[in-house]
């Protein structure tokens, strides 16, 4: 194998036990977990850095496990992953906070859905969920006008970029070979594994993990795996730049809607206050900016969560793109994490949208378990 510019790498591996495609938090966590079993691991990333797409283009929220059916992978891996993530962050110095979250209702018509959300969380085993009144809300989030809410004390926030860099560092310490700028161009089966071709090198891997995020459908087809479609879904944010933001202490959410958790309020670890994300299914997987919503579109959802917000209080901020396994006509698709039904050397870790950040360590452990069976 050769490195950038044709120069040889200082190491040489004629064959690798496992190649992981994609260095977002899913691929990084999987590579770290697999390397812990003593297998040789190579991590291929199309960008020059790890975690530049969905992993760091999100709210950074650590979810409790409220939103999906208790038996779903999204719920089970969220709950297991949250505990793993908090312990991991504490051990390795990744900035995070267990700040709690309010999901609020604004009138009597929303109360049945709020209670249903609590019942789903209780059934899944989420600890500490409590229906709270106006006094609780006013004390905890004085800028929020809601009169009833659901409080989740185990929800929190994490520095996603620091998590990415820590997982990469720890993986490399276990021997994971990281190949940035190595977009997969082709792959085909050989007697001993799958030959992977990038712009800079070829290698044969005994098994491959598809953690390619927005491009997981392309990678699966390239490797002769199952056919599925990733539907890119953009979420946009605004920043709250007025004194209203100083009264926000944590996480404030509306009730969820069909394709997302709703435009919510997040106070980041660095003190900024964001509102978002929106939900827009788009054609291109790299379209972060075309036809952005105007700031005015955020005023009404912001006012439902924070009293007195005006358009002058808001500024356009970043955006992210979710890798959904369903389109706008379908409300839900679970994570796809299993050995491929067509190519048995391929393990899929696809459709890892929210709560993917929270779940990443549990997803990585599950992928590792599948590989070693």
**Rounded-to-integer distance, Cα 326 and Cα 341, Å:** 19
Element (H, E) at 253: strand 251-253
| pTM: predicted TM-score of the whole model, two decimal places | 0.94
Stretches where the chain sits below pLDDT 70 are 1-14
Contact 287, 234 (CB under 8 A): yes
* CATH class, 101-153+231-324 region: alpha beta
Q: What is the pLDDT of residue 1?
A: 44
Residue 238 Ramachandran class (φ > 0 left, ψ -120 to 50 alpha, else beta): beta
Tokens 């004194």 sit at which residue? 243
Please give the pLDDT value at position 65: 96
Neighbouring CB atoms inside 10 A of 90's CB total 10
17 within 8 A of 208, measured Cβ to Cβ: no
Provide the pLDDT for residue 62: 98
Sorted by where each begins, the domain ranges of the chain are: 4-55+161-228+332-372, 101-153+231-324
Beta bridge pairs of residue 61 = 157
For 19, 167, 258, 322, 367, the CA distances from 325, given in Å and listed in that order, are 23, 26, 14, 10, 18
Output the pLDDT for position 227. Answer: 98
Quickly name the fold that domain 4-55+161-228+332-372 has. Answer: FAD/NAD(P)-binding domain (3.50.50)
**Which pLDDT does position 5 carry in this prediction?**
44
3-state secondary structure of 372: helix
Q: Where are the beta strands (DSSP E) in 82-230?
A: 96-97, 101-105, 130-132, 148-152, 156-158, 177-179, 184-190, 193-198, 202-210
Give the pLDDT score at 7: 41
Residue 2 pLDDT: 44
Q: Measured between alpha carbons, how far is 358 from 363 in angstroms, rounded to an integer? A: 10
Pairing of strands 251-253, 264-267: antiparallel
Write phi, then psi, for 90 (nearest 5 degrees): -65, -40
- Whether the domain at 4-55+161-228+332-372 and the domain at 101-153+231-324 fall into the same CATH topology: no
CA–CA gap between residue 204 and residue 201 (Å, rounded)? 10
d(CA 166, CA 171): 8
């Amino acid at each position: 194998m050769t490195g950038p510019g044709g120069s040889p790498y200082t190491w040489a591996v004629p064959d690798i036990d496992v190649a992981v495609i994609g260095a977002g938090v899913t691929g990084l966590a999987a590579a770290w977990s697999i390397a812990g079993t003593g297998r040789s691991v190579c991590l291929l990333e199309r960008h020059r850095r790890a975690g530049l797409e969905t992993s760091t283009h999100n709210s950074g929220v650590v979810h409790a496990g409220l939103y999906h059916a208790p038996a779903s992978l999204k719920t089970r891996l969220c709950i297991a992953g949250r505990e793993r993530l908090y312990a991991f962050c504490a051990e390795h110095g990744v900035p995070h906070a267990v700040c709690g979250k309010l999901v609020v209702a604004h009138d009597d018509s929303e109360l049945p859905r709020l209670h249903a959300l609590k019942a789903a969380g209780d059934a899944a085993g989420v600890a500490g969920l409590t229906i709270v009144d106006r006094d609780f809300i006013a004390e905890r989030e004085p800028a929020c006008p809601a009169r009833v809410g659901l409080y989740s004390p185990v929800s929190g926030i994490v520095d996603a970029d620091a998590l990415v860099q820590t997982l990469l560092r720890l993986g490399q310490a276990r021997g994971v070979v990281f190949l940035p700028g190595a977009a997969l161009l082709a792959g085909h089966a050989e007697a001993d594994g799958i030959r992977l071709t990038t712009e800079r090198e070829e290698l044969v891997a005994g098994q491959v993990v598809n953690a390619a995020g927005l491009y997981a459908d392309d990678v699966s087809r390239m490797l002769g795996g199952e056919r599925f479609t990733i539907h890119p879904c953009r979420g946009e944010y605004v920043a709250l730049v007025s004194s209203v933001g100083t009264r926000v202490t944590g996480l404030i959410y509306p009730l969820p809607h069909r394709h997302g958790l709703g435009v919510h309020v997040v106070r980041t670890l660095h003190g900024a206050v964001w509102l978002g994300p929106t939900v827009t299914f788009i054609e291109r997987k790299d379209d972060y900016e075309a036809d952005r919503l105007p700031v005015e579109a955020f005023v009404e959802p912001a006012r439902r969560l924070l009293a007195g917000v005006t358009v002058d209080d808001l500024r356009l901020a970043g955006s992210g793109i979710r890798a959904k396994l369903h389109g706008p006509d379908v409300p839900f698709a679970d994570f796809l994490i299993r050995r491929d039904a067509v190519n048995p050397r391929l393990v899929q870790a696809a459709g890892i949208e929210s709560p993917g950040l929270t779940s990443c360590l549990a997803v990585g452990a599950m992928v590792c378990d599948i590989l070693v069976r």
